[in-house]
Amino acid sequence: MEDGSRNRIIPVPAAVMQGSGAFGLQSAVLSVSEAALLPHAERFRGDLATYAGLELPSPTVEPDASGGSVRLELGAVERTARRTRGVRADGASPDTEVHRIVIDEAGVTVRGASEEAIGRGLTSLVQLAALGGGVVPCGTIDDAPELAWRGLSLDVVRRFLPVDEVKRVIDVLALHKLNVLHLHLTDNEGWRLHIDAWPRLTEVGATGAAAGRPGGFYTHDDFTELVEYASERFVTIVPEIDMPGHVAAALTAYPQLGVSRPSSAGSLLPVAYLDPNVEETWRFVEDVLREVAAISPAPYLHLGGDETFGMDHDDYVAFVDRAIPIVKGLGKRVVGWQEMCRAGVGPDEVIQYWIDFASLTGGDEAGPADAIPSEVRDQLAAHFGEAFSDLARIAEKRSRLLLSPTSTFYLDHPHGDPSTDPAQEERRSRLGLQFYPARSLEAMADWDLSSAIGDVDPDAVAGIEAALWCETVETSDDLQLLLLPRIAGVAELAWNPSRRPAWSDHRTRLAEHSSMWHRAGWSWFRAASVDWP
């Protein structure tokens, strides 16, 4: 049994046994053990066409695999040595993705106890076919992730992303076996989901975006379309309605609900928060969360809870402690940003850790550490001072920990590597928040989970989630340059946090996988640290 170092899949499989010979998919017959697998077989056909340029005939339901076939079978798979720990955003068992791929010169069998497990195996097979010109090496792959929650938080507020563009992001996640899309739907710059009970949220609050860009919003039908598209690709959408802070757009529509002050000489950080002492605020909170819960099948709702600049601490705690039971009353569980651990959270809540301070101190790489004005740094230091104790709080309250440390998993860091494309070099100077230190692909790949969680029990880690904020994103191409190839590194760290591959191996895989990104029409940042073909 080998460790997969000769395998070309991203993320690296748990266990690979190399065989001899190969199988060509060019003339393969696609068969399934039961009709429920037909949609996944059809999607596999589509992915083969997109990423490998291969066309297979339509799949059939056959009782037994025949020679020259790619066979999909639902059934138990003997557990590998790997245990998946954490929390799944769809509420399923962490072991849902265990699968086995057996390839010999007569054909391929993909087996798993769930449709999702088979889907993950098919993704590996698509990658092997695309990278091998339709020919896949013989052997056995036993695979499952180490962490159950592997996702991306996507900011659709600072730049509104139409439905088709969000679908393209979902495609990128699915190709890299990430299984959560956390949609950041509301913020100071806009409100992106229509709420029937409070129509001015989108009539007024959705009209613009950051830096004078056009606004927009999703109807309930739009949101349902995205949920279904993602679910078909084994990605769960978790909606975020940020509160009590980051609500300037909501307060533009309904100013009676809270306090809003733009940045000023006295306070360079914008103030916008819902007032828990106003009873109409609670009608608003209940109405909004009820509508979101009704159209979102995921068992989790993200309540935000971050950066409540200007809000009294006791008011913040009172808000969180009243909002959590509302979510639970709707049959959902709460995800919240790190600051929420300072309120009455417990084992039922997932706390998203993000403040690791490297972005404020300059980190370990060259970067514009003094790009934040000193008075803003002072205000941030005062606001974030409590964060040094947050991991201890999370451990004490036994909440689940979702890891999104800014210095590694915030994809709006400027690129630390130069690009081999001169046109990208010009864009590199404006993409990403310039007060963050630039981040290289190698530094990201070197992140270590065990040193990041402090005293938190490793079994309390829900998973890993990157975040892509869009303050500097003007076009779809900009978005893709921040997303790729970094998201492949995120996928690797989330699938294999305890045995991530060496940078020399990872960079080789990135170069190979760029052929699939090219076929799919995606842009990616051509970091000079990788030998792109």
pLDDT of residue 375: 75
Q: Does residue 527 lie within any of the structural domains?
A: no
Domain shared by 225 and 324, yes or no = yes
* Overall average pLDDT of the 200-213 stretch: 97
Per-residue confidence (pLDDT) for residue 365, from 0 to 100: 44
Q: Write down the pLDDT at residue 260.
A: 93
| CATH number of 275's domain | 3.20.20.80
Let me know whether 456 and 331 are in one domain. Answer: yes
Q: How far apart are CA 161 and CA 167, in angstroms?
A: 10
Do residues 476 and 504 share a domain? Answer: yes
Whole-number percent of the chain with pLDDT over 70: 94
Q: Which pLDDT score is estimated for 358?
A: 56
Question: What CATH number should be reported for the domain holding residue 66?
Answer: 3.30.379.10
Whether residue 524 is contained in a domain is answered as: no
Q: Which amino acid is at 477?
A: D
Q: Residue 222's domain spans which residues?
A: 149-519
Q: Per the domain annotation, does 181 fall within a domain?
A: yes
Q: Flag whether pLDDT at 439 surpasses 90.
A: yes
Q: Where residue 81 falls among pLDDT bands split at 50, 70, 90?
A: low
Q: Are residues 130 and 169 in the same domain?
A: no
- Position 363 pLDDT exceeds 70: no
pLDDT, position 366: 40
Of residues 483 and 383, the one with the higher pLDDT is 483
Averaged pLDDT score across all residues of the chain: 93
Per-residue pLDDT at 525: 98
* Alpha-carbon dihedral sign for residues 211, 212, 217, 222: negative
Last-in-domain residue among 102, 125, 143: 143
pTM of the model: 0.96
Range of weakest confidence among 161-165, 295-299, 374-378, 393-397 = 374-378
Both 187 and 139 in one domain: the answer is no
The predicted pLDDT at position 267 comes to: 66
Q: Which of 110, 143, 176 is the last residue of a domain?
A: 143
CA distance 50 to 520: 6
Mark whether 368 and 481 lie in a shared domain: yes
Please name the amino acid found at residue 370.
Answer: D
6 in a structural domain: no
Query: Does residue 117 sit within a domain?
Result: yes
Q: Which of 291, 307, 349, 465 is catalytic?
A: 307
Range name among 77-91, 386-400, 468-482, 513-527 with the lowest pLDDT average: 77-91
Exposure class string for 291-316: b at 16+ Cβ within 10 A, else e: bbbebbebbbbbbbbbbbbebeeebb
Domain shared by 132 and 225, yes or no: no
Taking residues 94-100, what's their average pLDDT? 95
Contact between 4 and 15 under an 8 Å Cβ cutoff? The reply is: yes
The answer to whether residue 526 is domain-embedded is no
Q: Is 237 within a domain?
A: yes
State the pLDDT at residue 369.
45
**In contact, 399 and 339? CB cutoff 8 Å:** no
Does residue 224 sit in the same domain as residue 304?
yes
Q: Are residues 171 and 120 in the same domain?
A: no
Q: What is the pLDDT of residues 441-487, one digit of tens each?
A: 999 999 999 999 988 999 999 999 999 999 999 999 999 999 999 99
Stretch 224-240: mean pLDDT:
98
**Residues 130, 154 share a domain:** no
Split into its structural domains, the chain has a count of 2
Task: Answer yes or no: do 81 and 202 share one domain.
Answer: no
Domain boundary among 114, 143, 172: 143
DSSP-assigned beta bridge partners for residue 472 = none
pLDDT score recorded for residue 65: 54
CB 449 within 8 A of CB 497: yes
Q: What tens digit of pLDDT does each residue of 113-147 get?
A: 999 999 999 999 999 999 999 999 999 999 999 99
Least trusted range by pLDDT, from 46-60, 74-88, 134-148: 74-88
Highest mean pLDDT among 262-276, 295-309, 368-382: 295-309
Distance CA 2, CA 445 (A): 22
pLDDT of 429 higher than 50? yes
Active site residue 307: yes
Claim to verify: residue 483 and residue 512 sit in the same structural domain: yes
Residue 401 is assigned to a structural domain of this protein: yes
d(CA 528, CA 516): 19
For helices 163-175 and 115-131, give the axis angle rounded to 10 degrees: 80
Give the residue-averaged pLDDT of 300-314. Answer: 96
